[in-house]
Amino acid sequence: MSSAIESDAFAVQTFGISRTYGDLTAVDGVDLAVGAGELFSLLGPNGAGKTTTIKMLCCLLRPTGGTATIMGHDIQDDPLSVKRVIAVSPQETAIAERLNAWENLSLMAGLHGIEKQAARKKSGELLEMMGLTGRGEDRAKKYSGGMKRRLSIAMALVSDPQVLFLDEPTLGLDPQSRRAIWEHIEALRGKKTVLLTTHYLEEADALADRVAVIDEGKIIALGTPGELKGRISDTPVMVVEAENLTAEAIEALRQLYPVVRAIEAGVEIEGEEASVYDIQDVLRPRGITIQSAYRKQVTLDDVFLHLTGKQLRE
């Protein structure tokens, strides 16, 4: 995975952007700077303010505070220029289901004033890129959810935007379809500036150069996935799963290791020195059998739990 773009040029910048609805603050003073060509993720639970932020950046919703620039154009002062350089694949798949893929792409190209021959060529390239060439003549209503999402992304790319917004691009898809979408998004890295919103931790981890974690309308953490995971602890953690683990057995383990945490399935033990053989020597005389033992990998779920005290999918 490439690192964040090393450039002074920011494709997307927000300056204390906010949005309120009466007494409700949906987005609260967000400051972001996304590099040209960067694949940037806004990660947070439902209702965190992700979609509201995207709508403001796409000039679909006016901020109640602050502003933003897209490729140097202010979203409040110059929305027409902003719309010329962006495209969005919305959370709700915006395709005409009675039309086939070619017709959907042609319709979108016409809206952008693209000449027919050029539109046909571009449409063919996008259908091939999204793996839809063989189904290009089929009506979109016959497509699976994953195919509809791929067509929606292709439609957003027809105008060759400099900045592409993907709002929950894999929402509701099965794991196989989600990973297929990931491959197509990955192919855009460095070619487009991509800002995607997601509440799937593994999606942000797999795709993003950098991640901004948003909760209750505020950015609470920002960095590469590795940097965010590194904030928790560099200390290795061994997970030991065992049935009928007694409080006395856990206390015996604490004589060996300073940090032993009881979990539902067993215990977590911090430290390089944690050895399954030594643990077994403590548990076996007490009639306790280890079912599994493994080194735990820190995930973005751990990061979110550490930052907010709650699971991301709550």
Question: Does 5 fall in a domain?
Answer: no
Domain assignment present for residue 125? The answer is yes
Position 243: which residue type?
Answer: E
Confirm whether 71 is domain-assigned: yes
Same domain, 82 and 53: yes
Using left for φ > 0, alpha for ψ between -120 and 50, and beta otherwise, residue 216 falls in left
Both 225 and 274 in one domain: the answer is no
Spatial separation of the C-alpha atoms in residues 227 and 58, rounded to whole Å: 29
Is 198 in the same domain as 245?
no
The domain boundary residue, chosen from 229, 263, 286: 229
In order along the chain (314 residues), what is the average pLDDT of each group of 10 residues?
49 97 96 96 93 96 97 96 95 89 95 94 95 95 94 95 95 90 93 94 94 95 92 81 92 93 90 89 94 87 81 60
* Rounded CA separation 195/24 (Å): 25
Q: Which domain holds residue 258?
A: 237-297
The amino acid at residue 3 is S
Q: What does the pLDDT read at residue 119?
A: 94
Picking from 199, 229, 259, the residue at the C-terminal end of a domain is: 229
* pTM of the entire predicted model: 0.81
Helix residue ranges per DSSP H, the chain = 50-57, 79-85, 101-111, 116-129, 145-157, 175-186, 201-207, 225-230, 247-254, 276-283, 300-308
Q: Is 145 inside a domain boundary?
A: yes
In the prediction, which pLDDT does 236 show? 81
User: Are 195 and 224 within 8 A, CB to CB?
Assistant: no
Question: Do 37 and 159 sit in the same domain of this protein?
Answer: yes
Q: Count the domains in the chain.
A: 2
CATH number, domain with residue 292 = 3.30.70
Domain CATH number, residue 152: 3.40.50.300
| 70 lies in the same domain as 101 | yes
Q: Is residue 52 part of a domain?
A: yes
Residue 187 in domain: yes
Residues 214 and 99 in one domain: yes
Kindly state whether residues 165 and 279 are assigned to the same domain: no
The answer on 145 and 53 residing in a single domain is yes
Same domain, 266 and 284: yes
Kindly state whether residues 159 and 98 are assigned to the same domain.
yes
In a domain, 185, yes or no: yes
- Write down the pLDDT at residue 299: 82
Q: What is the pLDDT of residue 271?
A: 81
Boundary of a domain, candidates 229, 247, 282: 229
The answer to whether residue 106 sits within a structural domain is: yes
Give the tokens for residue 115: 């000449």
Residues 207 and 245 placed together within one structural domain of the fold = no
Provide the pLDDT for residue 4.
Answer: 38
Q: 273 and 246 in one domain?
A: yes
**CA-CA distance, 19 to 28, in Å (whole number)?**
7
